[in-house]
Structure formats: structure tokens, C-alpha cells
Structure 1
């Protein structure tokens, strides 16, 4: 009887311990392109979130509980994003960092909304994401209507008499950015010489480059991701065509230079402020570099998203979505991106875009 009671007591203790351990973890998700042509930038998001979670746990977690990360792959595809969102929901996470591409973030947002899960993107810039009026959606980066306006001002001021082409890769992100830039240069009295869409995923865009050259295009504004932009630049270089490419944050990846080689020198683009130059981010930047990873692009914005959520949870005193959303909407948060807050739509109030140029295989601020 003593042995039976002893075994029963041990089983009860084990069961209680397992329940306590399960309750002692807060689950959060990361959704982005871990495979496919945009996986290079998906890794930026993954590295940033992983480091943020590790740092949170090292300092005691959130509300005294450890944070556990679940990562899912959407390949920057709308269909796969829906499947990834359902996996996140099934895991019963409290918060998700993602998605990376607008084509993935927008369809996933509705699923998270129905499930009561807070979503914060470090990368999706299409205005539609926060214009659809969902309380659970936040964006820690800027929007394409801001980015397009900045690009148009620059194009008109720098090349007032040049023949300008607008090219889109047809994605939700690329088309939105290209259309916004086109709209803004038209408002400033400049008409584009050509407006073209390309098909992403191809290996040769020389026919399009030949068309741009035949039209006498001197400056091409490209809305899309780094792979297609890089192939356009390389093809122009191979044809002996001196075309100035200007683009957006989708080419903020060293993978761009890996494809273009020296042909990419002088390519200009807008992107979010680079927090690598900030003393606030220095410790995180140094540790990631020690691990052999350069925290470019979306890395530190992903880290900052976790920071903002964790601080909002602390303010709310719970991971309950409604309470944390209220804290995010009304508070100000100290992150490696600086002090940030969100407006009534969920957009960050301190977006900040700046100009960069490719030099020596790296992108640096345009002085």
C-alpha cells in the first residue's frame, strides 16, 4: 500500500509539475519567408526574433514566465501564409511577429483577428494592412505611401528632365510601391516614359531591359524585391546600357550585391532608418556579428517588435490580447529603434525612411 501511495504521490507531483511548466511558458510566433527567393530576408526576421526572445528569457521572461518561439514558413506566398497563420493559431500563441511580405501579411491578418492574436510586422509596407481597421494589427516599419512620396520627390529633384520608367514585379508590395511612386511623380508634373510589369522568378529580363534602352530611359524606378532588381541591373550592365536603378526597401539585402557584382554599384534605394548605427542597438548588433550574422534589413525591426510587445504586456499585467492592444495603442516603448508609439491604425508614429546607395558590395547611407 505504501508503494502504491508513493507511486500515486509521485504521479500527482509529476502531473502538477508538468501543468506548472506548461503554464510557465508564453508562446509567441514568427511568420516569414524561410524558403523561396525571399528567404534571405526571412532569415533577418528570424534572427532578430530569436535574439529578442533569448534576451527576454535571460532577464526573467515576461511576467515571470519564459517565452517560447514557434516559427512558421510562408515563402512570401499568400496561400502558404494562410496555412502558416492557421498553424500559429493552432499553437495558441499570444503574439506573432510577421509576416514579412505584404502579400502574406494581409491575408493572414484576418485569421489572427478572428483568433484574437496580436500581429506586428517588421517589414510589410503596403498601406492596406493597417487601413482595413483591425485592432490587432501593428506595423513597426513605415508605409509605401510615405516611401513612394519620398522617392518621387527625389526623382523629380535629381532628374527633372530625364526619361523615367516605372517597373513593378507584380507583387502586392512591388505593385503598391510602384503605383504610389508613379502617382506622386505625376502629381509633380512628371510623366513616366514607360510603365511595365515583369514576371517574378524568371532568370532573364534582357527583353525588358532592351525595351527600356530603346525608349531612351535613363532612370528606372523598380517596385519589388532584390532578386528581380539585381537581374535587371546585371542585364543592363551586360548590354552596356548605363541605366540608373532606384528602388525601395525590398533590395536592402546583401544578396542583391551577390547577384549584381560590380554592376550594382551606384544603385539607390529608400529603406527604414538603419538602427545598426545607433548606440541603443550596439550590444545586439555586436552579439549577432559575433555569431556570424550581419543584422541588416529587417533584423533589428523584428527585435524591436518583440520588445514593444513585451513592454505592453508588462504594462497590461497580462497577455490577454485586448489589454495588450490597449497598452500598445496608448503607450510609448523604449526599443533598440528608439522610443516608439503607434497611432489609431496601428502604424508606428516614428517610421523614418532614408536613402542608401550600393558601394563596394554593401549599402551605405547616401550623403
Structure 2
């Protein structure tokens, strides 16, 4: 009898303690907060924090008294990404949004998958991210292979290009995407006049741009790791009077590209995911994000959706167990800010790449590869 009374008292004390102070829900973020990709990394953090505020306004998540965001800086460095992933695992996060660079996401996901922690990348497009059969790895953006198809279709069907000059900066992301573009260009019958490389962090591109000018290529495909490199390159390209049409990709697509090179950026084309800005969820995201942070960056909506999907799954599962979260993510058909979120078995969520053109102070929707029509 005495043992039973003691047991009941212990249970009562446990329940009372839980009622007084419930545990916080911890959401991890792995992103480049420092280094050349810091603009995108900080946009990712802001997108996650915006999603947290939206969830809190919707009533929060039962069982948790608060939602905390634990940010780790990976600086797009593989070793720093692994260290950050270990820190997040040790702090018992329920899931991680990140990383930005594929070179950081791939090694970090090995740590998190082994620890059974959900990871959703809003930005890493290298196919290897979801090709390894990792049960707890998901992707909100599209893939390099899908982006390359959209890029080459635009070159051939809209620009009527016959030749293309391809350049990357040797990073896992930019070189991988450039390789896919080269493969698709060959299939489409385009003449690849050159595939050149620069180093990430280079300041002077005159040597490779001279080759571009001499080639008279119809299209210059500029695959770089971040917008800061794109800004330097487009300024030097315009100064040299190069006439090739310029097509770049999602890493260079950032408001800073226009802000820092307002004249030189005019007419540059980009592949990036299409977001319906009249959709209710996008409007909710934009209103909250703008109030907290100002203008969204390139990956703000993708990171918002990654965090919102994660928290929605946790709420539905009533658990932070990765297998229970996965069960909810797999049956999800959730309207998001960037797209309708619906994951495939391998963790991908599909692509929605379209072509944008810098016009005035904005990226304007220009061409839809699926319909083969201009907007």
C-alpha cells in the first residue's frame, strides 16, 4: 500500500511539474551566417523565424510552452556544417531547416539522419541530397537536373540560341548545375563553345570574360555560388561590352543583385521557382515577414515553408519522433508560400522553375517552360 501511495505521489508531482513548465520546442537552422553566402543564409533564418511567429499566432503547438530557434553557422563549409549538425543534435532539436550550400547539406545530413532528426533543405539543389536513401532528409526547392531542363528549353525555344558559353566557380552546387546544363544543351543540339571555371572568391574575371567576348556565344550561362559573385561578374561583363544574353540561376537570384548593380542587371535572365503571390499563404508569409524583416530574400519563402511544414507535421503527429513526423510529411498536401507542399517518397517536393527577367527594380516573371509561353 505504501509503495502505491508513493507511486501516486510521484506521478502527481510529475504532472504538476509538467503543467507548471512545459518544455520548449526547438527548431534548428543550419545556414551560412558568415562568408560570401551570408545574405542567403540570413534570409533562411528570417524565413524560419517568420514561420515560428505564424505558428504561434495560430495557437502554437500543444505540449510545448514555446518555440525556440537554434541557429548554427555552417559558412558553406563541409566541416563546419558537420560541427553545426552535431551541436543541433546535442541540443535535442526536433528538426533542422538547412542548409543552403549542397556541400554543407550533404555531410550535415549524414549526422542528422543517423541521429534520426528531420532535415528539410530550402535551397540545396544537388540531386545527391535525396539520392542516398536517407529516411529523414527532405527538400523544399527543386533539383539541378530540373533547373537545367528549364534553362536549356528557354535558351532554345525563346532566345533561339545556337551557342552557349558555360561558366561555374567549382563549388559542388555551381559546377553540378553547370554540368547538367551542358548535358541538356548537348541533347538540345546547342553548340557549347566553352565550359570554363573560376574560383569562388575571385575578384577579377577579365581573363574568362575575354574568352566569352571572343567566342560570340549567343548565351552566357553564369553558374555561381552566390549573388555577390554575380554582382562582380555582371559589372565587369557590362564594362567589357559583351553582347551575349546572360542567363543565371537560383543562387545569384537575390534582391542584392539588382540593388548593387541596378544598371548592369537590366535584362539578365534567371531560373527560379514560381510562387503565386496572390495565394493566401504567400500573402500571410509576406505580411509577417515584411513586418519583421523587410523585403524577403531569394530563399525566404522556401525556408518559411520548410519550417511551417515541419511544425505542421509535429503538431499533427503530436510528437517529435522522426518516424511519426515522416508519416505526417508523406501525406501532406499543404498550401505553402512557395508552392503546394507535397513530398515524394525520396523527400523531394517537385520543382516549379520559371524564367525571370530583371526589369527596372524587380525580377519579373518572363517565361513558363511547362506551357512554353511568356507570362
Mapped to 2, the partners of 1:86 and 1:268 lie a distance apart of 39
> Bigger shift: 280-289 or 37-46?
280-289
Match of 2:61 in 1: 62
Match of 2:256 in 1: 255
Match of 1:9 in 2: none
Structural RMSD (CA): 2.2
Match of 1:3 in 2: none
Q: CA deviation digits over 1:76-124, x for unaligned, max 9? A: 2222111111111111101000011111111111000111100001111
Residues 304 and 292 of structure 1, relative CA distance in 2, 3 Å threshold: closer
Mapped to 1, the partners of 2:24 and 2:75 lie a distance apart of 28
Mapped to 1, the partners of 2:363 and 2:356 lie a distance apart of 6
> Bigger shift: 48-57 or 88-97?
48-57
Q: Secondary structure at the match of 2:135?
A: coil
Show structure 2 runs of 5+ residues with no match.
Answer: 1-11, 367-374
Match of 1:264 in 2: 265
- In the alignment of these two chains, the number of paired residues is 354
Mapped to 1, the partners of 2:339 and 2:212 lie a distance apart of 42
Match of 1:8 in 2: none
Match of 2:3 in 1: none
Mapped to 2, the partners of 1:54 and 1:203 lie a distance apart of 39
- Structure 1 segments, 4+ long, off by >4 Å, are 13-23
Contact 1:236 1:243 in 2 (8 A): no
Mapped to 1, the partners of 2:229 and 2:268 lie a distance apart of 14
Q: Secondary structure at the match of 1:311?
A: helix
Contact 2:46 2:293 in 1 (8 A): no
Match of 1:145 in 2: 145
Tell me the TM-score normalized by structure 1: 0.90
Match of 2:48 in 1: 49
* Structure 1 residues 299-310: aligned runs within 5 Å: 299-310=300-311
Q: CA deviation digits over 1:34-79, x for unaligned, max 9? A: 1111111112111110111122223332233122111111112222
Residues 311 and 15 of structure 1, relative CA distance in 2, 3 Å threshold: closer
Q: Secondary structure at the match of 1:249?
A: coil
Match of 1:169 in 2: 169
Q: CA deviation digits over 1:175-210, x for unaligned, max 9? A: 111111110010112230010011111111111111
Match of 2:356 in 1: 356
Match of 2:35 in 1: 36
Displacement of 1:159 in angstroms is 4.0
Displacement of 1:329 in angstroms is 1.8
* Structure 1 residues 49-198: aligned runs within 5 Å: 49-65=48-64, 66-198=66-198
Show structure 1 runs of 5+ residues with no match.
Answer: 1-12
Displacement of 1:290 in angstroms is 3.1
